[in-house]
Amino acid sequence: MTQPDEWKSPYDPPQQPSTPEPGSGPVPEPGPASAPGQAGPPSPYQQPYEQPYQQPYPQGSVQYQPEQGQPYQPQPPQYGAPYAYSAPPEKNALGVWSLVLGILSVVMLFSCLVGFLAAIPAVITGHLSRKAQREGLADNGGLALGGVITGWVTIGLTILLIVGFAVLFSIPDFREGFFSDTGYSNDY
């Protein structure tokens, strides 16, 4: 049994037999010919799978094609195509800002009673983000909804505090006690 001189990969292209020069030796006889329309024996050098299609340019990019004078618009990837990264929706930041401002408004309400200063922008950006989600420009409607809810809760609590202070100051005894000088006396 003889061993080949070197190992050859089954994926290498087949080597073309060299044509012998006339009179240099015996001519090999051709093998059995297949009839037209019939498939011949399978090639041992056939690729076992097809390579996936690679797009020449990233999705969304525009490349100039000078021979046609038109910009290149890439096609969307086909089913089963290699993974492509797409840009995040354009207005996702509105939902994040709405939630952050909503949480900040609650903290500001309980710490220094000015939570409405952050609650109003939280409600506005939350509604803008929800609108962008309906239009397909954002995908974080839950964050926006959280910001809208916390913003409206803060606005409602601020209104209740204002009404409560107005009612308390309408009572004469409370008003007199609030504005009286309640300093410490040095009577021992």
Residue listed under structure tokens 């202070």: 165
Say whether 71 sits in a helix, a strand or coil: strand
**Amino acid code (one letter) for 138:** A
Q: How confident is the model at residue 40 (pLDDT cuts 50, 70, 90)?
A: low
CB contact at 8 A, 58 and 64: no
Phi, psi of 72 (to 5 degrees): -80, 125
DSSP state of 6: S
| Higher per-residue confidence, 157 vs 87 | 157
Mean residue pLDDT across the chain:
76
Q: State the average pLDDT over residues 90-115.
A: 94
DSSP state of 53: P
Convert the pLDDT of each residue in 24-39 to its tens digit: 656 555 555 555 556 6
Residue listed under structure tokens 């340019």: 57
Convert the pLDDT of each residue in 108-119 to its tens digit: 999 999 999 999
Q: Determine the distance from the C-alpha atom of residue 135 to the mean position of all C-alpha atoms in its chain, rounded to a whole number.
A: 16
* 3 backbone φψ class: left, alpha, beta (φ>0; ψ -120 to 50): beta
Residue listed under structure tokens 């962008």: 132
Which residue ranges make up each domain of the chain? 92-172
Tell me the C-alpha distance between 145 and 150, whole Å: 9
Q: Pick from 46, 161, 63: which is nearest to 114 by CA?
A: 161
Give helix 92-112 / helix 141-170 axis angle, nearest 10°: 20
* 14 backbone φψ class: left, alpha, beta (φ>0; ψ -120 to 50): beta
Residue listed under structure tokens 């037209």: 36
**Does 151 score more than 90 pLDDT?**
yes
**Does 74 score more than 90 pLDDT?**
no
